[in-house]
């Protein structure tokens, strides 16, 4: 079963679509073309990685573009064999004077609905607040996400450059709004910051899932704490190598999480940047990290339980499993 619980809309833009939208929107073509602008050449650090992801931001300037990118992301996931996809995105990055947060979120949700209707693969949108934005701005994002709960939006996240903006407490009010609306809570944490960031995300923001969390493995106390409290870690091995969170894919801490009793789920993060989709990430677990068939079965079960799904959707996927 292929359940993707950590994937960014901005990291799923087809290069061919980028070229077409750029012409329509009057965005200059980058030197070397869009594929070169989008794709990473190799490992670097989180800041460089996010700069590559940001190369697609000018293409999100219209509601029609947002709908198209979201629809194609779901269709591409279905073509790759996925059974369920959660797509996260930062709407505040894509607003302008004529289109506010509500319109951006609605356009993405509509595109995802269309992709799911065409493909038969369910999907849910996870709205992301961004670390480098002011708390007031992220509070507005949370309110817009809360208003769209049940209309395509299933979760709330904090994303962005953890190296440069590690603080979580300023965004606690935004997460309180999202929790009150019944949205699932995840948070990028302990990817570039120490293990304690994951615990902070749980205690300060109410996160039940931690995005990446690579450095949780560095601290036995935090590792044990996460296992005892049922915290789920969304692992994206290839992405963590590209961001410099790990030295080599073979060093990824997913086996450490598993052995500590932490539930692990899988994501492909930004597959257009890394060139690795969810099926390839699953192969990494088996071929590079020693995952067994039983380990994969446990991952599938954890993914179904941790996904921000409606009960009927979860039951339907259970029957598939």
Tell which residue, 5, 1, 2, has the closest CA to residue 233.
Answer: 5
What six digits make up the tokens of 185? 């809570």
154: helix, strand or coil? strand
Whole-angstrom distance, CA of residue 69 vs CA of residue 82: 17
Element (H, E) at 53: helix 46-54
Residues marked active site are found at: 191
10 Å Cβ neighbour count for 31? 7
Q: How far apart are CA 212 and CA 233, in angstroms?
A: 6
Distance set, CA 155 to CA 101, 128, 146, 177, 186 (Å): 15, 8, 9, 12, 7
DSSP state of 60: G
Closest CA relative to residue 68, chosen from 141, 126, 6, 19: 19
C-alpha distances in Å from residue 291, one per residue of 160, 209, 264, 281, 284: 30, 21, 12, 12, 9
- The β-bridge partners of 125 are 87, 153
């Amino acid at each position: 079963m292929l359940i993707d619980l950590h994937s960014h809309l901005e990291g799923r833009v087809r290069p061919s679509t980028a070229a077409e939208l750029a012409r329509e929107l009057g965005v200059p073509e980058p030197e070397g073309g869009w594929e070169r602008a989008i794709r990473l050449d190799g490992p670097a650090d989180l800041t460089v990685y996010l700069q590559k992801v940001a190369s697609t931001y000018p293409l999100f300037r219209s509601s029609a573009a947002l709908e198209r990118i979201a629809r194609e992301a779901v269709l591409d996931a279905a073509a790759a064999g996925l059974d369920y996809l959660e797509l996260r995105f930062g709407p505040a990055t894509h607003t302008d004077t004529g289109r506010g947060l509500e319109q951006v979120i609605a356009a993405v949700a509509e595109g995802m609905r269309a992709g799911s209707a065409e493909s038969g693969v369910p999907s849910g949108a996870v709205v992301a607040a961004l670390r480098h934005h002011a708390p007031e701005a992220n509070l507005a994002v949370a309110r817009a996400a809360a208003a769209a709960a049940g209309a395509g939006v299933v979760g709330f996240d904090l994303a962005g450059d953890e190296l440069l903006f590690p603080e979580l407490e300023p965004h606690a009010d935004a997460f309180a709004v999202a929790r009150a609306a019944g949205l699932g809570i995840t948070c990028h944490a302990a990817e570039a910051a120490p293990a304690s960031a994951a615990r902070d995300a749980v205690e300060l923001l109410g996160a039940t899932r931690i995005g990446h969390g690579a450095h949780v493995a560095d601290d036995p106390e935090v590792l044990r704490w996460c296992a005892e409290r049922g915290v789920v870690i969304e692992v994206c091995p290839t992405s963590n190598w590209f961001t410099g969170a790990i030295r080599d894919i073979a060093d990824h801490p997913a086996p450490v999480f598993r052995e500590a009793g932490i539930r692990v789920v899988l994501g492909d993060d930004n597959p257009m940047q890394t060139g690795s989709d969810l099926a390839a990430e699953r192969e990494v677990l088996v071929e590079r990290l020693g995952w067994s068939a039983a380990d994969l079965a446990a991952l599938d079960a954890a993914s179904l339980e941790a996904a921000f799904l409606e009960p009927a959707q979860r039951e339907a996927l259970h029957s598939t499993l």
